[in-house]
């Protein structure tokens, strides 16, 4: 059985990827940091097939040990401080984990797998946040980076060091430049889930309003389940390379809000939405729209779930969860 090693196993993508790889017949190893990681118990309850391995992206010896123990064919580095807004407050931590963590992971793979023609295949979770103040629209693999947050800067370092290790040590190392991807497993701090959860609670009479930041910024939102498949496809290709993974369509936060409220039959959303400067960012990424044509051409990858389907899936999921918690029959 092929073996996959995943960092960030308790995050949205780690969970989707673990299930996907298990379904493909992989043995799945998930790196878990800390003495008693509060999220891993819930993940293991749903996916008991995951073998957990201790390790921390801030600690190279632990990564070497983790790779030695799991002996993977494929490594997926999804672990990061991933919340852009938080990276402004914890910039050094973000640089260390989201940036230098990639270097440490590559180094662990190189040390354990051997320097030349390393057989371990490596995937790095790069991000559309690297484009930041975009230089062209839509963004492709060739678009120059202009990150707008400590998170984006750290991701640029991670991206560049993957290219460098590929070129220097002939490693099979790829980066997926993933645009925003969402779903029912999304953390509540991200805007899509924050909105769909609040809309569900407002519909059920559990909450009065939702407080948001910038409603004008635009994102290219896809479904996380579609995007983890692209990660795997990159590692099955003949040659390692970098790919933009996106839908090619963009929507504003306002569009998201409108569609989520419409899903529960509320046409006029304005009375329920308040803006607060505390949710505005010191520097914003105004317009993201990715061109996934290389991934389609070379990998045969295409997204299945559309933006309306995604919002509908998330609102319905939150309605079910919130109704169950409150003991309300739907
Ligand atoms: P993003 O996702 O920063 O694009 O990064 P997020 O959902 O946090 O923000 C998207 C946009 O929504 C605006 N916004 C708000 N955002 C949040 N979180 N909360 C609010 O109340 C709110 N109001 C408006 C933001 O200003 C922003 O413009 C995500 C993460 O998953 C990264 O890790 C990943 O790399 C990128 O997507 C691709």
* Window from 1-5, 116-120, 203-207, 255-259 with minimum mean pLDDT: 116-120
235 lines ligand 1 (CB under 6 A): no
Q: What is the pLDDT of residue 132?
A: 97
Separation CA 209–CA 305 (nearest Å):
28
User: Is residue 25 reached through a cis peptide bond, with omega within 30 degrees of 0 on the bond before it?
Assistant: no
Q: Is 21 in the pocket of ligand 1 (CB under 6 A)?
A: no
Residue 116 has pLDDT above 90, yes or no: no
Query: Taking the model in full, what pTM does it have?
Result: 0.97
Nearest CA to ligand 1 atom 25: 214
Radius of gyration of the chain (CA): 20
- Which is higher by pLDDT, 118 or 11? 11
- Please state which of the ranges 34-43, 119-128, 142-151, 201-210 shows the lowest mean pLDDT: 34-43
Is the pLDDT reported for residue 185 higher than 90?
A: yes
Please report the domains of the chain, with CATH numbers, ordered by start residue: 3-182+222-245 (3.40.50.720), 191-219+250-288+304-326 (3.90.25.10)
Compute, in angstroms, the gap from residue 244 CA to the centroid of ligand 1: 18
User: 117-121, 180-184, 185-189, 289-293 — which is least confidently predicted?
Assistant: 117-121
Residue closest by Cα to atom 9 of ligand 1: 191
What would you measure as the largest C-alpha separation in the chain, in angstroms? 61
| Confidence (pLDDT) at 38 | 85
- The pLDDT tens digits for 51-85 are 999 999 999 999 999 999 999 999 999 999 999 99
273 closest CA partner among 199, 327, 217, 169: 199
Nearest to 277 by CA among 220, 218, 215: 215
Q: Which of 173, 179, 161 is nearest to 123 (CA)?
A: 173
Please name the residue ranges forming H helices in 57-123: 60-70, 84-87, 91-94, 101-113
Q: Which residue, judged by its Cα, is nearest atom 13 of ligand 1?
A: 214
Residue 113's pLDDT band, with cuts at 50, 70 and 90, is confident
| Residue 182 a catalytic site member | no
- Catalytic member of 126, 127, 128, 217: 127
Q: pLDDT value at position 24?
A: 98
Query: Are the C-beta atoms of residues 57 and 104 closer than 8 Å to each other?
Result: yes
- Reply yes or no on whether the pLDDT at 47 is more than 60: yes
Averaged pLDDT for residues 185-202: 98
Structure tokens at 302: 């295409």
237/321 Cα distance (integer angstroms): 39
Q: How far apart are CA 1 and CA 70, in angstroms?
A: 13
Write down the pLDDT at residue 145: 98
Buried b (16+ CB within 10 A) or exposed e, 234-265: bbeeeebbbbbbbbbebbbbbbbbbbbbbbbe
pLDDT computed for residue 76 by the predictor? 98
What is the mean pLDDT of the segment spanning 298-327? 98
pLDDT attached to residue 114: 57
Q: Express each pLDDT in 295-305 by its tens digit.
A: 999 999 999 99
Q: What confidence tens digit (pLDDT) does each residue in 155-178 have?
A: 999 999 999 999 999 999 999 999
Mean pLDDT in the chain?
96
> Does position 115 have pLDDT exceeding 60, yes or no?
no
Active site residue 169: no
Identify the DSSP state of 278: G
Provide, rounded to the nearest whole percent, the portion of the chain with pLDDT above 90.
96
């Amino acid at each position: 059985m092929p073996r996959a090693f995943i960092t960030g196993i308790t995050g949205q993508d780690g969970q989707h990827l673990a299930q996907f790889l298990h379904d493909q017949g992989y043995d799945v190893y998930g790196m878990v940091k800390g003495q008693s990681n509060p999220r891993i118990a819930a993940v293991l309850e749903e996916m008991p097939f995951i073998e957990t391995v201790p390790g921390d992206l801030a600690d190279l010896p632990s990564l070497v040990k983790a790779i030695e123990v799991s002996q993977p064919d494929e490594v997926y580095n999804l672990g990061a401080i991933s919340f852009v807004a938080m990276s402004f407050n914890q910039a050094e931590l973000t640089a260390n984990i989201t940036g230098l963590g990639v270097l440490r992971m590559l180094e662990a793979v190189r040390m354990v797998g051997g320097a030349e023609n390393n057989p371990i295949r490596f995937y790095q979770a790069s991000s559309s946040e690297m484009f930041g103040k975009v230089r062209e629209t839509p963004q492709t693999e060739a678009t120059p980076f202009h990150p707008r947050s400590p998170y984006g800067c750290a991701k640029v370092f991670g991206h560049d060091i993957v290219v460098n290790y590929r070129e220097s040590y002939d490693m099979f190392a790829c980066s997926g430049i993933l645009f925003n991807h969402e779903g029912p497993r999304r953390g509540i701090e991200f805007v899509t889930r924050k909105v769909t959860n609040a809309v569900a609670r407002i519909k059920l009479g559990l909450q009065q309003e939702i407080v948001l930041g910038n409603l004008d910024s635009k994102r290219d939102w896809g479904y996380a389940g579609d995007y983890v498949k692209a990660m795997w496809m990159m590692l099955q290709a003949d040659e390692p390379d970098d790919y933009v993974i996106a839908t090619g369509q963009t929507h504003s936060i306002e569009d998201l809000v409108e569609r989520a409220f419409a899903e529960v039959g509320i046409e006029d959303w304005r009375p329920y939405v308040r803006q607060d400067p505390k949710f505005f960012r010191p520097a914003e990424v105004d317009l993201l729209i990715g061109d996934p044509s290389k991934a389609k051409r070379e990998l045969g990858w295409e997204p299945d779930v559309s933006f309306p389907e995604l919002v509908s899936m998330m609102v319905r999921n939150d309605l079910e969860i919130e109704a169950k918690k409150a003991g309300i029959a739907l």
